[in-house]
Structure 1
């Protein structure tokens, strides 16, 4: 595996967002000793994304290797896998189409990954910037990738970092694949707000013993379009993003809570249910004293809906338990790679089946 940084940008209908994102990448102040490249994956877009990408990148006259790929199968997970397959360097920087990387991001990412060979995923610090002044309730709830991910730089105790701006060690992911791992979540799907694929990869790599890391020096701006700051969007986000819990809860109970049997799983599952039951009771009592149209009332309503969504997720006990048992089996029985690492892997197979535009 070549040492260097491959920036992978996956986008669905990102024609409006990509010009500024690409400009920040073109302005990266990368040292001569740091090999790097840029890969854009158009994930079944129906707008002018491909044309905009070509035109905008040509404006900057940056000589770094640049590729535009097309993934017709909708789903962020599928788009990222195609990007991984074509990445020629071991450190894959996942830059969303609305992320503006600070000028030294590539250098820092390279240095941290080089200095810490056991890092599976490295996260950074996102700072939200808005197309329009957001409503008060939008600034009080952390629904999007932003802010500190740990008390300080280093290994993250919760074993997850958000996908925006993160750096994945490709050799670690390839190791995971050779062991027969297949992600359950498809993450963002076209305009749907399903999510959680970034956390699933973090958990899976932590299961193998890789560290999940955070470095507060890796800073980027996360641009929020006005459409994502409406009351209706927040309500839809809470509803549609809840589908990931049946997968992520299984990982969390196994990895973070240390359960090693169905008996301890049941205990942890019940404990989580009681926690959210207590929280929804608290906000329900407060709700009765607040004007629902006030800013505080809206914040409380979103908290109520969030806790309600989590409680409804606990109805999927059998599905969460099934995922837990499968993960436990994977951990105990699948720690030896199934194929020879020197043989053609998933990534080379993907290269043969897609055309670089």
Structure 2
């Protein structure tokens, strides 16, 4: 973790890969933020191995708007993957709060003001998110299947009403606002487990992993309906092939992220009553022994590593998560 002290204010972290065509509108919305005079803020732009002159476009667009007193920093990250780009950016953040703004996110003018106020008011809130409206290329109609799968596109409301949604386990990365120090501490203790796959690194759902770490540390995930943004979705991302690929990535990530969910349910800070603990301790060994698939057997073994740790050793990833929980 860095030694320099964070200042009171907000850092917007904007990552892109070949986003030159999307950046003008996104940056225009950032420049249009109406921020209280006592809130300092900055934008850190990370060019993630782009080949379309994204950095030059971003600088030119920001310069057009003549935003006084707000730094617009640019940095390059050559390793592909938003996780690498984001972590490059947050290590340069000056302020105590950060907002994730993807290159297709158009924040409402009051976004920073509202997000800042929520985190200032309640130190138990680890991260906050809002609601998203889909905007399509050329105002094309959304496909019939979109309503069913809009969650995967980070579109809609994240809860029925404003409040604590920690039980949901995650907030969308689009517009997610959190505390810079919490992020730096969370990943200093334990590098992302999404990078541990033997076959390939899983370069998605990094926002979900961070949220799950916050919950494990006892922080709230909070939804506020006042926080609003638009998500621009080009035609190429509204095909069945793109949607299927998107959900395939989610499924691949889930096999790893499930260990966080199991840790929340069965780990040190679990909310199981005595009767449930006894019942699970009796039935889970049978579920493990007679599991119908490798995936189900792995899940039951993880549960047993919490219920009967002296008899069932945790796998390497679960062991790391257990250590992470203990380092409070």
Instruction: Pick the TM interval, shorter chain.
Output: 0.7 to 0.9
The corresponding residue for 2:119 is 113
C-alpha distance in 2 between matches for 1:29 and 1:203? 31
**Aligned: 1:66 with 2:76:** no
C-alpha distance in 2 between matches for 1:114 and 1:36? 15
The corresponding residue for 1:84 is 90
The corresponding residue for 1:149 is 158
The corresponding residue for 1:98 is 104
C-alpha distance in 2 between matches for 1:76 and 1:175? 19
SS of the aligned residue for 2:15 comes to strand
Q: Is the 8 A contact 2:154 2:174 kept in 1?
A: yes
Q: Which runs of 4+ in 1 moved over 3 A?
A: 258-264, 311-321
**Aligned: 1:38 with 2:39:** no
Please give the per-residue CA displacement for 1:36-92, whole angstroms capped at 9, x wherever unaligned: 111111011111211211111111111211111111111111111111111100110
The corresponding residue for 1:139 is 147
Equivalent residue for 1:327, pick from 315, 321, 324: 321
TM-score for the superposition, normalised by structure 2:
0.80
Q: Is the 8 A contact 1:246 1:319 kept in 2?
A: no
Q: For residue 150 of structure 1, report the CA deviation from its aligned partner.
A: 2.2
Following superposition of structure 1 onto structure 2, how do residues 252-267 of structure 1 map, counting pairs within 5 Å? 252-255=261-264, 257-259=265-267, 267=284
Q: Is the 8 A contact 2:194 2:202 kept in 1?
A: no
How many residue pairs match? The answer is 290
Please give the per-residue CA displacement for 1:312-344, whole angstroms capped at 9, x wherever unaligned: 965865997623333123323x33xxxxxxxxx
Equivalent residue for 2:169, pick from 126, 137, 159: 159
Structure number with the bigger relative contact order (C-alpha 8 A, sep ≥ 6) is 1
The corresponding residue for 1:239 is 248
C-alpha distance in 2 between matches for 1:233 and 1:65? 36
The corresponding residue for 2:10 is 5
The corresponding residue for 1:342 is none
SS of the aligned residue for 1:134 comes to coil
Unaligned runs of 5+ in 2: 1-5, 271-276, 303-313
The corresponding residue for 1:168 is 178
Q: Is the 8 A contact 1:94 1:163 kept in 2?
A: yes
Q: Is the 8 A contact 1:251 1:327 kept in 2?
A: yes
Q: For residue 3 of structure 1, report the CA deviation from its aligned partner.
A: 1.2
CA RMSD after TM alignment: 2.9
**Aligned: 1:223 with 2:235:** no
Please give the per-residue CA displacement for 1:191-236, whole angstroms capped at 9, x wherever unaligned: x994211010011122112221111110000111100101111122
Q: For residue 137 of structure 1, report the CA deviation from its aligned partner.
A: 1.1
Greater mean deviation of Cα atoms: 15-24 or 56-65: 56-65
SS of the aligned residue for 1:213 comes to strand
The corresponding residue for 1:352 is none
The corresponding residue for 2:212 is 203
SS of the aligned residue for 1:41 comes to strand
